Amino acid sequence: MAVLVNIPGLGPMPDDGGLVPLTASSDGRFHTNRDGVVSITATGDRKVEFVAFVDHSLACVRSAMGYPAWYPVHPVRVDRPVKAVLMDLDGTSVRSEEFWVWIIELTTASLLGDASFKLDPADLPYVSGHSVSEHLQYCIRKYCPGRSVEEARSYYFEHTDREMRAILDGRGRANAFTPTPGLKAFLLALKERGIRIGLVTSGLYEKAWPEIVSAFRTLDLGDPRDFYDAIVTAGFAIRKGQAGTLGELSPKPHPWLYAETCRVGLGIDFSDRHHVIGIEDSGAGVCSIRLAGFATIGVAGGNIIESGTRPLCDHYCHDFDEILGVIAASEGSVPAG
């Protein structure tokens, strides 16, 4: 394996992992071989750029909404005992990505006035794993320039409200939200080990909560608020006549959702972050966990490979049994069952 570049805080990055070398950051602030910059590297989807110096690195999370942000890149490791596992919702815990991509598709079709509109398979990395507004901004730029995000959001929530009501009434899209195979056994194994569990999603509350409730009904695990030690969503949508909460400009790949779940939700100090593991199936989520300072287990089936973020994962697993093996090895024990 050849090394593309060594990024302090991340380590040696393979040249076949999907990362892309750059000569300058997208905002023109940094250039390679100037002002102490050793290298600049982007994820394959160009969502995050890493500027490496000799002994530290900075990460720029780009924004389709015009608000990029810079973060320090912290080194990670896994220390015993594992105190907490932070888990993504869509794709990792619940299979729902297809449903939400369909809602984006319906929204774009409404903007175009073309009910037959379909997204291209190449659009998938840009309409999943990020905020609603960023998904919509991408579709506007590609398919209907001149329309506004505000118009798109209006259609988006019209479709979302209709479909969520139908699902709760038992007449909605079939199999919209199904638990990922092996989820129940995995969650119970974590509980048995005394490992705290945080659920983290970039989805707005009105989208995420029905998913969680639906999955827990299927799993027969009771009230998710009693089961999880912390649940953090992207908050509530801002609409005319309603109060909203911050969630559209600071979701994954920004670190805040994972950082808040751990520090505020679970009460684990940043100095204890090496006792925490994050699990994600999306490139945006992988970056979010890493920038929050936690070791990352990537899950197959999402867009990690396509987004070029596989090198940022400490482990890459295909199912929950494999993930539990990684966690158990970190504890110096064997998997339950």
pLDDT at 334 over 50: no
Render 54-68 in DSSP notation, one character per residue.
SS-EEEEE--TTS--
Note the pTM of the prediction, 2 decimals.
0.85
Hey, which residues does 3 pair with through a beta bridge? 14
Residue 336, pLDDT score: 36
Q: Residue 50 is encoded by which pair of tokens?
A: 């890493």
Residue 335, pLDDT score: 38
Render 239-259 in DSSP notation, one character per residue.
-TTS---S-SSS-TTSSHHHH
Cα separation, 246 vs 309, in Å, equals 26
CA angle, residues 71, 77, 79, in degrees to nearest 5: 130
Residue 333, pLDDT score: 44
Cα separation, 311 vs 63, in Å, equals 22
Residues 6+ apart with CB under 8 A from 244: 235, 236, 237, 238
Domain 84-95+179-331 has CATH 3.40.50.1000: yes
Bigger pLDDT: 213 vs 69: 69
pLDDT at 170 over 80: no
Residue 294, pLDDT score: 98
Q: Residue 234 is encoded by which pair of tokens?
A: 């992207």
Render 25-56 in DSSP notation, one character per residue.
-TTSS-BTTSTT--EEEE-TTSSEEEEE-SS-
> What average pLDDT does range 12-27 have in this prediction?
94
Reported confidence tier of residue 4, pLDDT bands at 50, 70, 90: confident
How many CB atoms neighbour CB 173 within 10 A? 13
Residue 1, pLDDT score: 58
Strand, coil or helix: what is 225? helix
pLDDT at 331 over 80: no
Residue 256, pLDDT score: 96
pLDDT at 308 over 60: yes
Residues 6+ apart with CB under 8 A from 271: none
pLDDT at 337 over 50: no
Residue 150, pLDDT score: 93
DSSP classification of residue 24: B
Residue 129, pLDDT score: 67
Q: What is the pLDDT of residues 264-297, one digit of tens each?
A: 999 999 999 999 999 999 999 999 999 999 999 9
Residues 6+ apart with CB under 8 A from 205: 233, 234, 235, 236
Cβ-in-10-Å burial (0-12, 13-18, 19+) of 101 comes to middle
pLDDT at 251 over 50: yes
Alpha-carbon torsion 95, 302, 317, 72, what sign? negative
> Could you tell me what percent of the chain has a pLDDT over 90?
75
